[in-house]
Amino acid sequence: MTSPAQPRIFVTGATGQLGRLVIGALLRSVPATRIVAGVRRTDSDAARDLAALGVELRIADYSRPETLAPAFAGVDRLLLISSSEIGQRTAQHRNVIEAATRVGVGLIAYTSLLRADVSPLALAQEHRETEAILRASGTPFVLLRNGWYTENYAASIAPALAHGVFIGCAGEGRIASAARADYAEAAAAVLTGEDHAGRVYELAGDDAYTLGQFAAAIGEAAGRKIDYQNLPEADFAAALVRAGLPDGFAALLADSDAGAAKGALFDNGLQLRALIGRPTTPYEVTIAQTWATLAALSSAE
Protein backbone atom coordinates (compact mmCIF):
# COMPACT_ATOMS: atom_id res chain seq x y z
CA MET A 1 0.00 0.00 0.00
CA THR A 2 1.46 3.35 -0.94
CA SER A 3 0.18 6.03 1.35
CA PRO A 4 1.04 9.50 2.55
CA ALA A 5 3.30 9.71 5.61
CA GLN A 6 0.42 11.19 7.59
CA PRO A 7 -2.74 9.56 6.23
CA ARG A 8 -6.13 11.02 7.06
CA ILE A 9 -8.26 8.32 8.64
CA PHE A 10 -12.06 8.21 8.47
CA VAL A 11 -14.20 6.04 10.77
CA THR A 12 -17.84 5.48 9.78
CA GLY A 13 -20.43 4.71 12.45
CA ALA A 14 -18.17 6.62 14.83
CA THR A 15 -20.96 7.30 17.34
CA GLY A 16 -21.56 3.56 17.87
CA GLN A 17 -19.99 1.50 20.62
CA LEU A 18 -17.24 0.06 18.41
CA GLY A 19 -16.69 3.34 16.58
CA ARG A 20 -16.10 5.30 19.77
CA LEU A 21 -13.59 2.70 20.94
CA VAL A 22 -11.79 2.84 17.57
CA ILE A 23 -11.51 6.63 17.80
CA GLY A 24 -10.16 6.28 21.34
CA ALA A 25 -7.62 3.69 20.20
CA LEU A 26 -6.55 5.83 17.21
CA LEU A 27 -6.02 8.85 19.44
CA ARG A 28 -3.36 6.93 21.35
CA SER A 29 -1.04 7.15 18.33
CA VAL A 30 -2.53 9.61 15.82
CA PRO A 31 -3.12 13.36 16.22
CA ALA A 32 -6.82 14.22 16.37
CA THR A 33 -6.35 16.47 13.33
CA ARG A 34 -5.82 13.37 11.16
CA ILE A 35 -9.01 11.62 12.29
CA VAL A 36 -12.47 12.17 10.82
CA ALA A 37 -15.55 10.72 12.53
CA GLY A 38 -18.48 9.81 10.28
CA VAL A 39 -21.79 10.46 12.00
CA ARG A 40 -25.46 10.58 11.04
CA ARG A 41 -26.07 13.72 13.05
CA THR A 42 -23.80 16.13 14.85
CA ASP A 43 -26.16 17.04 17.70
CA SER A 44 -26.20 13.71 19.55
CA ASP A 45 -24.36 13.31 22.85
CA ALA A 46 -22.01 10.76 21.26
CA ALA A 47 -21.19 13.17 18.39
CA ARG A 48 -20.55 16.01 20.82
CA ASP A 49 -18.25 13.77 22.86
CA LEU A 50 -16.28 12.96 19.70
CA ALA A 51 -16.01 16.63 18.75
CA ALA A 52 -14.71 17.39 22.26
CA LEU A 53 -11.81 15.02 21.54
CA GLY A 54 -10.77 17.32 18.69
CA VAL A 55 -11.64 15.02 15.80
CA GLU A 56 -13.47 16.42 12.80
CA LEU A 57 -17.12 15.35 12.39
CA ARG A 58 -18.59 14.80 8.93
CA ILE A 59 -22.09 13.63 8.11
CA ALA A 60 -21.89 10.20 6.45
CA ASP A 61 -25.23 8.40 6.32
CA TYR A 62 -25.04 5.01 4.61
CA SER A 63 -28.58 5.47 3.32
CA ARG A 64 -27.98 8.96 1.92
CA PRO A 65 -25.38 8.47 -0.83
CA GLU A 66 -25.25 12.23 -1.44
CA THR A 67 -23.55 12.64 1.98
CA LEU A 68 -20.83 10.08 1.34
CA ALA A 69 -18.52 11.30 -1.45
CA PRO A 70 -18.23 14.79 0.10
CA ALA A 71 -17.55 13.20 3.49
CA PHE A 72 -14.71 11.09 2.10
CA ALA A 73 -12.93 13.93 0.26
CA GLY A 74 -9.24 13.97 1.17
CA VAL A 75 -9.47 10.71 3.11
CA ASP A 76 -6.64 8.16 2.72
CA ARG A 77 -7.92 5.27 4.83
CA LEU A 78 -11.51 4.45 5.67
CA LEU A 79 -12.90 2.11 8.30
CA LEU A 80 -16.35 0.95 7.21
CA ILE A 81 -18.04 -0.23 10.38
CA SER A 82 -20.82 -2.54 9.30
CA SER A 83 -24.24 -0.99 9.72
CA SER A 84 -26.55 -2.02 12.54
CA GLU A 85 -29.57 -1.86 10.20
CA ILE A 86 -29.79 -5.57 9.40
CA GLY A 87 -31.47 -6.26 6.05
CA GLN A 88 -30.40 -2.92 4.59
CA ARG A 89 -26.70 -3.42 5.01
CA THR A 90 -25.64 -4.61 1.58
CA ALA A 91 -27.18 -1.60 -0.14
CA GLN A 92 -25.83 0.75 2.53
CA HIS A 93 -22.31 -0.67 2.35
CA ARG A 94 -22.44 -0.52 -1.44
CA ASN A 95 -23.16 3.21 -1.15
CA VAL A 96 -20.12 3.68 1.08
CA ILE A 97 -17.77 1.60 -1.07
CA GLU A 98 -18.87 3.27 -4.32
CA ALA A 99 -18.42 6.76 -2.86
CA ALA A 100 -15.02 5.92 -1.39
CA THR A 101 -13.92 4.45 -4.71
CA ARG A 102 -15.18 7.49 -6.61
CA VAL A 103 -13.13 9.93 -4.52
CA GLY A 104 -10.01 7.72 -4.52
CA VAL A 105 -9.78 6.56 -0.89
CA GLY A 106 -6.57 4.50 -0.71
CA LEU A 107 -7.73 1.72 1.64
CA ILE A 108 -11.04 0.48 2.99
CA ALA A 109 -11.02 -1.65 6.13
CA TYR A 110 -14.33 -3.43 6.64
CA THR A 111 -15.66 -5.03 9.84
CA SER A 112 -16.94 -8.35 8.53
CA LEU A 113 -17.82 -11.55 10.40
CA LEU A 114 -15.57 -14.45 11.42
CA ARG A 115 -15.10 -16.74 8.37
CA ALA A 116 -17.87 -14.85 6.58
CA ASP A 117 -17.15 -16.80 3.38
CA VAL A 118 -18.25 -20.11 4.89
CA SER A 119 -20.10 -19.12 8.07
CA PRO A 120 -23.50 -20.82 8.53
CA LEU A 121 -24.82 -17.78 10.42
CA ALA A 122 -27.70 -15.94 8.74
CA LEU A 123 -25.85 -12.76 9.69
CA ALA A 124 -23.02 -13.75 7.34
CA GLN A 125 -24.98 -13.18 4.13
CA GLU A 126 -24.76 -9.37 4.09
CA HIS A 127 -21.07 -9.58 5.01
CA ARG A 128 -20.40 -11.97 2.10
CA GLU A 129 -22.22 -9.59 -0.24
CA THR A 130 -20.24 -6.61 1.07
CA GLU A 131 -16.97 -8.47 0.68
CA ALA A 132 -17.91 -9.22 -2.95
CA ILE A 133 -18.65 -5.52 -3.56
CA LEU A 134 -15.27 -4.63 -2.11
CA ARG A 135 -13.53 -7.16 -4.36
CA ALA A 136 -15.25 -5.73 -7.43
CA SER A 137 -14.58 -2.10 -6.47
CA GLY A 138 -10.90 -2.00 -7.38
CA THR A 139 -10.14 -0.08 -4.17
CA PRO A 140 -7.54 -1.74 -1.92
CA PHE A 141 -9.26 -3.26 1.09
CA VAL A 142 -8.63 -5.29 4.21
CA LEU A 143 -11.18 -7.53 5.91
CA LEU A 144 -11.49 -7.46 9.69
CA ARG A 145 -13.61 -10.56 10.14
CA ASN A 146 -14.69 -9.96 13.71
CA GLY A 147 -15.80 -12.84 15.90
CA TRP A 148 -18.40 -12.43 18.61
CA TYR A 149 -18.21 -9.60 21.14
CA THR A 150 -18.15 -11.02 24.67
CA GLU A 151 -20.51 -8.15 25.48
CA ASN A 152 -23.23 -9.91 23.43
CA TYR A 153 -23.42 -12.60 26.11
CA ALA A 154 -22.60 -10.22 28.97
CA ALA A 155 -25.86 -8.41 28.10
CA SER A 156 -27.66 -11.50 29.44
CA ILE A 157 -25.96 -11.39 32.83
CA ALA A 158 -28.73 -9.30 34.45
CA PRO A 159 -31.55 -11.63 33.31
CA ALA A 160 -29.44 -14.67 34.27
CA LEU A 161 -29.06 -13.27 37.78
CA ALA A 162 -32.77 -12.46 37.94
CA HIS A 163 -33.79 -16.01 36.96
CA GLY A 164 -30.82 -18.00 38.29
CA VAL A 165 -30.34 -19.50 34.84
CA PHE A 166 -28.52 -18.48 31.65
CA ILE A 167 -30.36 -19.65 28.55
CA GLY A 168 -29.15 -20.24 25.00
CA CYS A 169 -29.02 -22.84 22.26
CA ALA A 170 -25.27 -23.09 21.63
CA GLY A 171 -25.01 -26.55 23.25
CA GLU A 172 -21.40 -27.52 23.76
CA GLY A 173 -20.19 -25.15 21.03
CA ARG A 174 -17.02 -23.32 21.98
CA ILE A 175 -17.06 -19.57 21.55
CA ALA A 176 -13.84 -17.62 21.10
CA SER A 177 -15.20 -14.14 21.74
CA ALA A 178 -13.24 -11.03 22.62
CA ALA A 179 -14.10 -7.66 24.10
CA ARG A 180 -15.31 -4.95 21.74
CA ALA A 181 -12.28 -2.91 22.79
CA ASP A 182 -9.98 -5.67 21.49
CA TYR A 183 -11.56 -5.52 18.02
CA ALA A 184 -11.41 -1.72 18.15
CA GLU A 185 -7.70 -1.81 18.87
CA ALA A 186 -7.18 -4.23 15.98
CA ALA A 187 -9.00 -1.86 13.63
CA ALA A 188 -6.83 1.03 14.84
CA ALA A 189 -3.69 -1.07 14.34
CA VAL A 190 -4.67 -1.82 10.75
CA LEU A 191 -5.61 1.79 10.01
CA THR A 192 -2.32 3.11 11.35
CA GLY A 193 -0.07 0.29 10.14
CA GLU A 194 1.34 -0.58 6.73
CA ASP A 195 0.93 -3.46 4.29
CA HIS A 196 -2.56 -4.53 5.34
CA ALA A 197 -4.18 -4.12 1.92
CA GLY A 198 -5.40 -7.44 0.56
CA ARG A 199 -5.31 -9.20 3.91
CA VAL A 200 -8.15 -11.10 5.54
CA TYR A 201 -7.98 -11.22 9.32
CA GLU A 202 -10.02 -13.82 11.20
CA LEU A 203 -10.33 -12.14 14.57
CA ALA A 204 -11.34 -13.95 17.76
CA GLY A 205 -10.43 -14.24 21.42
CA ASP A 206 -7.45 -16.25 22.68
CA ASP A 207 -9.65 -18.48 24.84
CA ALA A 208 -12.91 -20.23 24.09
CA TYR A 209 -15.76 -21.26 26.39
CA THR A 210 -19.07 -23.05 26.24
CA LEU A 211 -22.16 -21.24 27.48
CA GLY A 212 -22.12 -23.65 30.43
CA GLN A 213 -18.71 -22.28 31.38
CA PHE A 214 -19.92 -18.73 30.77
CA ALA A 215 -22.86 -19.29 33.16
CA ALA A 216 -20.54 -20.79 35.76
CA ALA A 217 -18.26 -17.73 35.50
CA ILE A 218 -21.25 -15.43 36.08
CA GLY A 219 -21.97 -17.48 39.20
CA GLU A 220 -18.34 -17.07 40.32
CA ALA A 221 -18.52 -13.31 39.91
CA ALA A 222 -21.88 -13.02 41.65
CA GLY A 223 -21.12 -15.50 44.42
CA ARG A 224 -23.98 -17.87 43.61
CA LYS A 225 -24.74 -20.73 41.29
CA ILE A 226 -25.98 -19.89 37.79
CA ASP A 227 -26.91 -22.85 35.60
CA TYR A 228 -26.89 -22.97 31.84
CA GLN A 229 -30.09 -24.21 30.24
CA ASN A 230 -29.75 -25.30 26.63
CA LEU A 231 -32.98 -24.88 24.68
CA PRO A 232 -34.11 -25.90 21.22
CA GLU A 233 -33.46 -23.00 18.82
CA ALA A 234 -37.16 -22.14 18.42
CA ASP A 235 -37.73 -22.15 22.18
CA PHE A 236 -34.73 -19.88 22.72
CA ALA A 237 -35.99 -17.45 20.06
CA ALA A 238 -39.45 -17.48 21.71
CA ALA A 239 -37.87 -16.76 25.11
CA LEU A 240 -36.02 -13.77 23.63
CA VAL A 241 -39.29 -12.47 22.15
CA ARG A 242 -40.97 -12.86 25.56
CA ALA A 243 -38.05 -10.85 27.02
CA GLY A 244 -38.93 -8.00 24.64
CA LEU A 245 -36.74 -8.50 21.55
CA PRO A 246 -38.34 -8.03 18.12
CA ASP A 247 -39.13 -11.35 16.36
CA GLY A 248 -36.55 -10.95 13.58
CA PHE A 249 -33.71 -10.02 15.91
CA ALA A 250 -34.58 -12.83 18.33
CA ALA A 251 -34.50 -15.30 15.42
CA LEU A 252 -31.09 -13.99 14.32
CA LEU A 253 -29.64 -14.33 17.81
CA ALA A 254 -31.01 -17.86 18.13
CA ASP A 255 -29.64 -18.69 14.67
CA SER A 256 -26.23 -17.36 15.77
CA ASP A 257 -26.28 -19.52 18.89
CA ALA A 258 -27.27 -22.53 16.78
CA GLY A 259 -24.31 -21.69 14.52
CA ALA A 260 -22.07 -21.49 17.59
CA ALA A 261 -23.18 -25.02 18.49
CA LYS A 262 -21.62 -26.07 15.16
CA GLY A 263 -18.39 -24.20 15.86
CA ALA A 264 -19.11 -21.04 13.84
CA LEU A 265 -17.92 -18.74 16.63
CA PHE A 266 -14.79 -20.74 17.40
CA ASP A 267 -11.34 -19.90 16.15
CA ASN A 268 -7.88 -20.52 17.52
CA GLY A 269 -5.70 -18.70 15.02
CA LEU A 270 -4.74 -15.96 17.53
CA GLN A 271 -4.74 -13.31 14.78
CA LEU A 272 -6.47 -10.75 17.01
CA ARG A 273 -3.82 -11.17 19.67
CA ALA A 274 -1.11 -10.75 17.02
CA LEU A 275 -2.67 -7.54 15.65
CA ILE A 276 -3.08 -5.87 19.05
CA GLY A 277 0.22 -7.14 20.43
CA ARG A 278 -1.26 -8.40 23.69
CA PRO A 279 -3.59 -11.16 24.91
CA THR A 280 -7.28 -10.55 24.25
CA THR A 281 -9.54 -9.69 27.17
CA PRO A 282 -10.58 -12.93 28.97
CA TYR A 283 -14.33 -13.43 29.11
CA GLU A 284 -14.10 -13.63 32.90
CA VAL A 285 -12.84 -10.04 32.93
CA THR A 286 -15.78 -8.80 30.84
CA ILE A 287 -18.15 -10.69 33.15
CA ALA A 288 -16.50 -9.20 36.25
CA GLN A 289 -16.70 -5.69 34.75
CA THR A 290 -20.38 -6.14 33.89
CA TRP A 291 -21.12 -7.59 37.32
CA ALA A 292 -19.35 -4.62 39.01
CA THR A 293 -21.40 -2.16 36.90
CA LEU A 294 -24.66 -3.95 37.77
CA ALA A 295 -23.73 -4.10 41.47
CA ALA A 296 -22.87 -0.37 41.49
CA LEU A 297 -26.18 0.46 39.79
CA SER A 298 -28.23 -1.59 42.23
CA SER A 299 -26.47 -0.12 45.28
CA ALA A 300 -27.12 3.40 43.91
CA GLU A 301 -30.88 2.70 43.72
Ligand X SMILES: NC(=O)c1ccc[n+]([C@@H]2O[C@H](COP(=O)([O-])OP(=O)(O)OC[C@H]3O[C@@H](n4cnc5c(N)ncnc54)[C@H](OP(=O)(O)O)[C@@H]3O)[C@@H](O)[C@H]2O)c1
Q: Which residue of this chain has its Cβ atom nearest to ligand X in the complex?
A: 16
Identity of the residue, 47 or 219, whose beta carbon is nearer to ligand X in the bound complex: 47
| Distances from the Cα of 129 to the Cα of 39, 112, 123, angstroms | 23, 10, 11
Rule CB under 6 A: is residue 62 a binding residue for ligand X? yes
The answer to whether residue 125 forms part of the interface with ligand X (CB under 6 A) is no
Residues 73-102 contacting ligand X, CB under 6 A: 81-85, 92
Q: Give the dihedral sign, CA 298/294/43/49.
A: positive
Minimum Å gap between C-beta 1 and ligand X is: 24
Over the window 142 to 161, marking each residue x when it contacts ligand X by CB under 6 A and - when it does not, the resulting string is ----x-xx--x---------
Taken as a whole, the chain contains a residue count of: 301
The Cα–Cα gap between 66 and 158 comes to: 42
Q: In terms of Cα–Cα distance, which of 288, 165, 159 is closest to 217?
A: 288
Distance CA 112, CA 95 (A): 16
Residue 126 binds ligand X, judged by CB under 6 A? no
Region binding ligand X by CB under 6 A among candidate stretches 24-32, 57-65, 166-174, 290-298: 57-65
The residue within the footprint of ligand X, chosen from 37, 61, 196, 258 (CB under 6 A), is 61
Tell me if 42 contacts ligand X by CB under 6 A.
no
Alpha helices in the chain (DSSP H): 17-27, 45-52, 65-72, 89-103, 124-137, 150-154, 157-163, 180-192, 211-222, 233-242, 247-261, 271-276, 283-300
Given the complex with ligand X, which of 15 and 119 has the nearer CB atom? 15
Provide the binding-site residues for ligand X, judged by CB under 6 A: 13, 15-19, 40, 46, 61-63, 81-85, 92, 111, 146, 148-149, 152
